Structure 1
Amino acid sequence: MSYYTSSYTLQQEMEGYIDKRSGTFYGPPMGKKMAFFIDDMNLPYVETYGTQNSIALLTQHMQYGSIFDRGDLGIRKDLMDIQYLAAMNPTAGSFEICERCQRHFATFAIAMPSKSDLSTIFSSLFGGHLTTFQPAMQDLSGKIVESAIQIQDAVSSKFLPSAIKFMYNWNMRELTNIFQGCCHAKGDYYIKPAMLARLFIHEAQRVYADRLVSEEEVGVFDSMFTEILKKTMGPISVEELFEAPLIYTNFVTTTDGSYLPVPSMEKLKMVLDGKLNEYNENNPMMDLVLFEQAILHITRINRIIQNPGGNAMLIGVGGSGKQSLCRLAAFISDYEVKQLTVTSSFKVEDLKEELRTMYIAAGVKGTQMVFLMTDSQIVNEQFLVYINGILTSGWIADLFPKEDIDNILGSIGNDAKAAGIPDIPEARLAYFISRVKRNLHVVLAFSPVGD
């Protein structure tokens, strides 16, 4: 749910997953039950007298087993075999919901995993990836996982969020992003423990240091990270691990897309100059001077959009080159760049139509693209609800009517069959969403100046 979720939009979403059984009875296919998961249940707007009409609709169904047809209020729909699971955001929203609704739930708190739990999770994931590597590389798995957990704990304690540093929100996603990058390593290229350790350091710097807002904080992070690595990496020299340049790409060293370190800044600049000239031959001219900071930003953006579900927020004052660097990074990866043409009459429905086109291109046709959006294009705050849907789960519930979803699932039938996906709607929809997350990447170019 979001601030803008009303009873009408919630009912539309619910009815998209159920079918008519007989008479006024509706539910999932016969013989099945449906668990309807509601995230951020406490976020919908609170009305004048303290009610939240979307939650009132849930309460009505749980108490009476039915809701009214929006087209004809004389028809009462009985919804069968539906259960609800819900989660609440403890840091935003109304902080509590209607007691008449909450009494229908068994409520319990979920804490963040402990260090031992995190070690078990990521040791299994990363260790599984290293099973085809040399034994010396496999032995390094535990040390890297321990280092990652320690730096996560240190960063969470040192760099706390504030009104200005709202992005200092550290959780398990950071660890996931680190090991997602580390799992790009291939056994044919990574044959020494120091090579894998350097890749880990690079990924940790991209995940944590790139989010810090000052050189002073980056220096503090580097010193903390160095101390942790001295304790965990054993005989490997820390000076060797941090030797410059510590930059990894999939377009400089090899042509097969392997994720490898760049041999030198001169080689990296030469490759990017060539890519820029190639871009200017086929697209409107970009008069860019690729100084060192710009080069580093291009490699960072390229790294993000290479990952499934990889999305970026670029923060810088107007004219600093955010959009140009994004376009060049996308061109290097053979991605199309899509941007909205926003006018004074641009409405939410216009945004949804643009997103439908992108979803069909990315999910059905397999077109790889970057959706580049600036803060000036967000003329309605409700746009952020749909952007958030792409960022969090890759799916926007009310984007397609049910008939269009059936057509989409039919269109990807051959590809789904070739990928071994069962011929059932739920599995095909999950496959479609995975294709969207793999092919559609959102890049937000925002300015810190203004409201």
Structure 2
Amino acid sequence: MVKETKGKFSAPDNKRMVILIDNMNIVDPEPLGAQPPLELLRYFLEYEFWYDYQDSSKITLNDVMFVAAQQNDGANKHKISSRVLHHFNVLSINTFNENTLSRIFSNILLIALKQNGFTQEVWPTVQNMIAATIDIWQTAKSCLFATPKTPHYIFDMMDISKLMYGCSMVKRPPTAERNTFYGKLWMHEALRVFYDRLSNGLDRETIFAKICSAITQYFPEPPEIFLNHLSSFDGMVTEDLVKGLSFGKYFNMQDDEVSQWYEEILNFDDIQTTAERVIEKYNEEHEIKMDIVLFRSALEHLIHLCRIMVTPCSNCLLIGVGGTSRQTLVRLGAVIVGNICFQPTISKDYGLEEWRSDLKHCLVESGGHNKEVTLMFSDYQIKYEDFLEDLNCLVSTGEVPNMFTRIEKQEILDMVRSAAQGGISSVEISLVEAFQFFISRCKLKLHVILSFNHTFSEYRRRLHSYTNLVTCCDCIWFEHFHTQLGSINSLMCGD
């Protein structure tokens, strides 16, 4: 805002400023029921000024309107005091029906596919993909509920967006493969979005059966037809079989460049050979060695993590107990796809200032230098609750509010000016516009990978308090590796 006189601020250029307060009802009440942030807002709405904390002088904001938003269902939602609520005109938005959802996402997916060389002929397939996605999404919402054991079972429209985004990254397939290609693609994306987060066998059976029935209902070829190329196919479509179905952008074995297109991975042996070669090279160049046995389950998780690290705007929540190689797989995946992998080093003197400095480093690398960055963070590193608050904002909006000073923003402007201008130096660009460009590039390039242990006492509360860590992330449940002990022993013994 622009300072007019001492204590008086207004929007620039005779405009009106709209301030959005999102998730207004997640403010935890005090023991006696008060919600101090909302009371501070109520005070301004009633008296139109605040007092300066330092000298108690009045601070007035002119030409300002507050718009608030909240979600009534879900965890960690609290009732807002009527003293605050009566200052707002309340509008209720009903849940979108199937026709509305289909119209929204069909057009989004069609536009994205056309940019990749598809024609209008793909429109019927787009409609089938959307119908199948809404079907499986509604099944997940009605059958899988967030409980104390499964607080990560949160399904909203972000899940539809994630699935559609994965389907939009492919190139146009040859005509002869189209009947089988779209079913394979949709099945893979549905497994990644809905199946990978499930923590018990019964839930997996429910969702897997629904995915198979949706393919039979909405696509021209059943799973038995387009999965018969998998090496373990014996005429039956099982959960173990579809684990061999993978799409992604990975190293080309010939020139060590990341593939431009999102495409099916036909040979797991190639990926394993690439990973082993990367591990060997990494261990030659670093003092701290990367020691991991790439048995089948670990290799599947590695492929899924690589998929997330090359997908714009993607973040991930890894859930499992210690000893499941989550962090090692993240580091290996970052090296394979060419990302910068950063993990804060927590020490006795590490505080909020050092944490913000590390976040700034990651944001400048991704948004300023236009590099792909993987920020890895584990629950045992949570020294202060502010860390989670910042990450909750980061995965949702791509920034932490008010973290950069004005001088730092000016440095960012100099860093991104040319890219924000589109290479045309005569185009005028303001500090606000340049910073928004910087934030949008951070959201595209920075991938936050969180690793949580579901046996920790704070696990459930943290996911309830910071729901963006679930809704804005792809969730992957890591099983115990005791079922893979046979293959581990075989690999270690060279048998």
TM-score with structure 1 setting the length: 0.90
* 1:230-379 equivalence runs, <5 A: 230-234=216-220, 236-243=221-228, 244=230, 245-251=244-250, 255=257, 256-283=259-286, 284-379=288-383
Letter in 2 for 1:438: L
Counterpart code for 1:441: H
Q: 1:127-166 alignment to 2 at 5 Å? A: 127-131=110-114, 132-133=117-118, 137-166=122-151
Please state if 1:390 is matched with 2:394: yes
| 8 Å CA contact 1:28, 1:81 repeated in 2 | yes
Q: Given that residues 46 and 94 in structure 1 are in contact (C-alpha distance below 8 angstroms), is that contact kept between their aligned partners in structure 2?
A: no
Q: Distance in 1 between matches of 2:32 and 2:204?
A: 48
Q: Provide the residue aligned with 1:436 in structure 2.
A: 442
Partner of 2:198: 212
Question: Aligned equivalents of 1:145 and 1:44: distance in 2?
Answer: 35
Q: After superposition, what is the alpha-carbon deviation per residue over 1:229-283, rounded to whole angstroms, capped at 9, x for unaligned?
A: 211113x233123443311121156853211112222233223222322332333
Distance change >3 Å, CA 135–CA 413, structure 1 → 2: closer
Query: SS in structure 1 opposite 2:450?
Result: strand
Alpha-carbon shift at residue 314 of structure 1 (Å)? 1.2
In structure 2, the partner of 1:62 is 45
Displacement after TM superposition at 1:360 (Å):
1.9
Counting aligned pairs with the same residue, the percent is 25
Deviation at 1:225, TM superposition (A): 1.3
1:87 positional shift: 1.3
Residue 79 of structure 1 is aligned with which of 51, 61, 64?
61
- Using the TM superposition, give the Cα deviation of residue 48 of structure 1 relative to its aligned residue in structure 2, in angstroms: 4.5
Q: Measured at CA, do residues 384 and 225 of structure 1 come closer, stay the same or move farther in structure 2, by a change above 3 Å?
A: same
Q: 2:153 aligns with which of 168, 177, 182?
A: 168
- Rounded Cα–Cα distance in structure 2 between residues aligned with 1:407 and 1:61: 34
Distance in 1 (alpha carbons) for counterparts of 2:165 and 2:104: 13
Taking the aligned partners of 1:422 and 1:241, their CA distance within structure 2 comes to 53
After alignment, is 404-413 or 132-141 more displaced?
132-141
Partner Cα separation in structure 1 for residue 65 and residue 93 of structure 2: 20
- Cα distance, 1:163–1:279 mapped onto 2, change above 3 Å: same
Question: Alpha-carbon deviation of 1:415?
Answer: 1.6
**Alpha-carbon distance, 1:439 to partner:** 1.9
TM superposition shift of 1:92? 4.4
Q: Does the CA-based 8 Å contact 1:386-1:396 persist in structure 2?
A: yes
| SS of equivalent residue, structure 2 residue 314 | coil
SS of residue in 2 equivalent to 1:228: helix
What is the Cα deviation at residue 151 of structure 1?
A: 1.0
Task: Name 1:4's counterpart in structure 2.
Answer: none
Q: 1:228 aligns with which of 214, 225, 231?
A: 214
Structure-2-length-normalised TM-score? 0.82
1:383 and 1:310 mapped to 2: Cα distance?
19
Q: Which residue is equivalent to 1:103? A: 86
- Residue of structure 2 in register with 1:33 after alignment: 16
| 3-state secondary structure, aligned to 2:196 | helix
Cα pair 2:136 2:214 within 8 Å, conserved: yes
Distance in 2, matches of 1:317 and 1:269, equals: 24
Deviation at 1:328, TM superposition (A): 0.6
Change in Cα spacing, 1:189 to 1:301, as seen in structure 2 (3 Å) is: farther
Q: Does 1:52 pair with 2:35?
A: yes
1-side partners of 2:188 and 2:100: how far apart?
24
Matching residue's letter, 2:450:
L
CA RMSD for the aligned pairs?
2.2
Q: Partner residue of 2:235?
A: none
Separation in structure 2 between the aligned mates of residue 252 and residue 306 of structure 1, nearest angstrom: 11
Contact 2:251 2:337 in 1 (8 A): no
Counterpart in 2 of 1:412?
416
- Paired residues in the alignment total 432
Amino acid at match of 1:157: S
Give the gaps of 5 or more residues in structure 2: 231-243, 458-495
Note closer, same or farther for the CA distance 1:176–1:438 as it changes in structure 2 (3 Å cut).
same
Return the offset for 1:407.
3.3
Indicate if the aligned counterparts of 1:252 and 1:262 stay in contact, CA closer than 8 A.
no
